[in-house]
Chain A
Amino acid sequence: MSVDASSLGTATGTAQEVAAAVAAGRVTASEVIAATIERIARRNPALNAFTQVLSDRASAKAREVDAAIASGRSVGPLAGVPFAVKNLFDLEGVVTRAGSRINRDDPLARADAVVVRRLEAAGAVCVGALNMGEYAYDFTGENAHDGPCRNPHDTTRMAGGSSSGSGSAVAARLVPLALGSDTNGSIRVPAAFCGVFGLKPTYGRLPRTGTFPFVDSLDHVGPLACSTRDLTLAYDAMQGHDADDPVCADRPAEPVGTDAPALRVARLGGYFVGQGEAATDAAAERAAAALGACETVVLERAAEARAAAYVITNVEGAALHRTRLETRRADFDPAVRDRLLAGLLIPGVHYVRAQRLRRSFAQDAARLFARFDVLVAPATPFPAPAIGQQTVMIDGQEVMLRPNIGIYTQPISFIGLPVVVVPVPGEGLPLGVQLIGPPWREDLVLAAAAQLEAAGVARTPEPA
């Protein structure tokens, strides 16, 4: 039986379903990609998720997949699956913008990023590059050069950042899979605001080779998708050591099994409760209860960890961009420029103290993981704010919006723990919940996400 290609990768078409249909010959990869390109052309103007659509490249790759199938060759677990990448991932023959005006003067990338190559080796097809906050220093998705990326559930709302296009494109079903990067929450925030699943693996798990950096001490890459299974397929395809990223751990790929382990789960309390809207706490409570959590535990010094992540980000980001701040000052988004200039002026002793906190804070977390496999916390303190919004009311107090979006994500990436954000729909805009695991145990957080999905607690809502 043939399949209507236009339905694949849309509301009912997950990456898993697309790959199965392509591999079985029910639809060709070329048909899937043609339908995807048409869908992007139709819907992207309202969302501004894509900055570049690579029709020729995608069509050529799809023909390769179809030819492989026709000749009986193995095509991989992601055969014909369209995906797109935050525009800080190198794509051969394309300028790596990293959300900036300045990088548009850079030469064309000479090769794909390693994780892009690995996804395509598994049969996936890259269809384009996605909007993002300038140089990834952003939680809103408001880009001064490319315009704001919009939330498919309400286009007057932020998509979240800095992997804004990744969250928006997946939530709108333009593609079933996207790649983002996460330094302080840049996969987890857009996943939460847009109501999709996002995986930030352990720091050092996936190679960052061929991506434009932000904060080397904290940068991660990972996938966003509409289901746990799709996250897992993409994650497994991208695993493995790469010597060109000095942070990438020299450990073998550890494919995620399909077992459903009995998980010991706790809700994170203390710092991770009551700093946002009540609905976000309620979503975390619902997820924790569904996973059988019977205890609330406290991760001490989370506020310190968040502060230290902030300082490290400010200093390393400033160091990375110092020359550009001197030579291309007017080409920065003024809001980003001010933060980076401030980072140049922070005394070095603060940076060293911030780095030193990481190991002892990780030991605090390890003590919790001796008793629990997964810790549950909200992803953001509120759902997607309005585009242009500058402040937010929390606990009856008006506070600045931007510095507060990442308060729940920053302490976790500070020590590189693996996290899956799951969408837990309630009334109104999507809400995200973090499922946090011990280092190198992505399998546990993915298993927890799968259990929540099977229980109907976590799911990607239909776009408006």
Chain B
Amino acid sequence: MADDDAMALVQLGEVLCGIDVPPEDRDGVAMHLANSLRLADMIGDGAAENAPVFRP
């Protein structure tokens, strides 16, 4: 995800999630969000179960 997209997502998230990201935090939050979403894109389908409950 491009940084611009991450910044746009931060702005959208402020509305959808009802949070307020102060201007001085936006670059840092966008960077971390972009990293998390890049990693999330790596996750495959995994098991077909619906219940996200794990026991060793």
Contact = CB atoms under 8 A, between A and B. Distances in A.
A304 B43 contact: yes
Given A342-B29, A345-B17, A357 B43 contact: yes
Contacts of B21: 341
Contacts of B31: 338
A338 B25 contact: yes
Contact of A325 (B19, B39, B45, B56): B19
A344 B39 CA distance: 16
A357 B46 contact: yes
Given A341-B19, A345-B17, A362 B39 contact: no
Nearest to B13: A345
Classify chain A's interface size. Answer: 35 or more
Nearest to A362: B56
12 contacts: A310-B36, A311-B36, A334-B28, A341-B21, A342-B36, A344-B17, A345-B33, A352-B52, A357-B44, A357-B46, A358-B54, A362-B54
Interface residues of B, number: 33
B42 A304 contact: yes
Interface string B25-39: 100111111011101
Given A303-B42, A329-B22, A352-B52, A338 B29 contact: yes
Interface in A327-348: 329, 334-335, 337-339, 341-346
Contacts of B17: 344-345
B2 interface: no
Contacts of A358: 46, 54
A439 B56 contact: yes
A329 B37 CA distance: 23
